[in-house]
Amino acid sequence: MTDLSSHLHGLWLPLVTPFRDGRLDETSLRRLTRHYSGQAVDGFILGATSGEGMTLRDAELERLVAVVRDEMAAGRRTVPICLGLSGADTSRLKDRLDETADWPIDGYLIASPYYVRPSQRGLLAHFEALADHAAWPLALYNIPYRTSVNITNQTLLRLAEHPNIVGLKDCGASRAQSIALLRDRPQGFRVLTGEDANHHEALCDGADGGIVLSAHVETATFAAVHAELKRGNHDAALARWQEVAELTRLLFAEPSPAPAKYWLWRSGLIDSPEVRLPMVEISSELAAALDREIERRVRVAA
């Protein structure tokens, strides 16, 4: 295991969970792990939104983590793993922290409680209770358009003082809030954007990196955007970003991760584009658009 606080930067991949005939597809999972651990990826998020974590049974989630860790151990490179957890019951989430305490992970990515819409005092108490209880560090996940509650900067700055809360996946949908947080955050508290279409913008504003579903495709280009900005090469970073900016819109044209799974299937990285209900396969119109873009990028690469 690694020190998450020192590794929560750069390009993190929220790995999709491959399924086939209703089951976890371990063959495809191993193929994905081998492929992306060999890319310029700084960490994996498992079982979160892009990994369809809400549809995974406990045994499947445990197996998902075990297979990814095992495949990395057999390869040449290991990257940190954050396990995605979510829920609206603080007590139940504490139980999940206990149940996963001995799993081979490096930390947790925990979203705000959904549906119940707690107050800021409730959010503060919720996350402090989890951080006090967790065996591994926590990164918070602020995504109000899914949870119906925004973690304000006042609350985030209070939470950032907790020694077991080390960062944030920022999907707050407010650039002004994000910029203010980046300005006021304590040293060592990492902020990674989770908005694919705003990846370049967030990095220019000072984010430490991104958790980017679209980086399943053109991984090296997404990594290069960050690398060029770190070197101060803003024009080069913008040029690399323009190579993938439209891709981020295409992969979110219909509910994610179905478009990305279709692309990975067509590219031979997974054996099926299968998603679990209530997610459904992409439309024939989007499939045709993705096929055209795949073929275009193959021609350019050749």
230 is catalytic: no
Question: For residue 23, with 0-12 CB atoms within 10 Å meaning exposed, 13-18 middle and 19 or more buried, which class applies?
Answer: exposed
Phi/psi of residue 84, nearest 5 degrees: -80, 130
Does 148 belong to an annotated binding site? Answer: no
Which residues neighbour 266 within 8 Å (Cβ) at sequence distance 6 or greater?
273, 290, 291, 294
Of 36, 108, 169, 261, which residue is the catalytic one? 169
Coil, strand or helix at 136: coil
SS (H, E, C) 189-229: CEEEECCHHHHHHHHHHCCCEEECHHHHCCHHHHHHHHHHH
**Which of 31, 45, 13 lies closest to 223 in space, CA to CA?**
13
CA distances from 250 to 258, 274, 277, 287, 293 (A): 11, 18, 22, 10, 9
Percent of the chain that is helix, strand, coil (3-state, to 5): 50, 15, 35
Query: For residue 138, which amino acid is it?
Result: L
Which residues are paired to 24 by β-bridges? 19
Write down how long the chain is.
302
Judge whether 179 is annotated as a binding position. Answer: no
The residue annotated as part of the active site, out of 36, 108, 141, 262, is 141
Say whether 169 is catalytic.
yes
Cα distance between residue 116 and residue 178, in whole Å: 24
Q: How far apart, in whole angstroms, are the C-alpha atoms of residue 143 and residue 83?
A: 17
Active site residues: 141, 169
Binding site membership: which residues? 50, 211
Question: Residues within the annotated binding site for pyruvate?
Answer: 50, 211
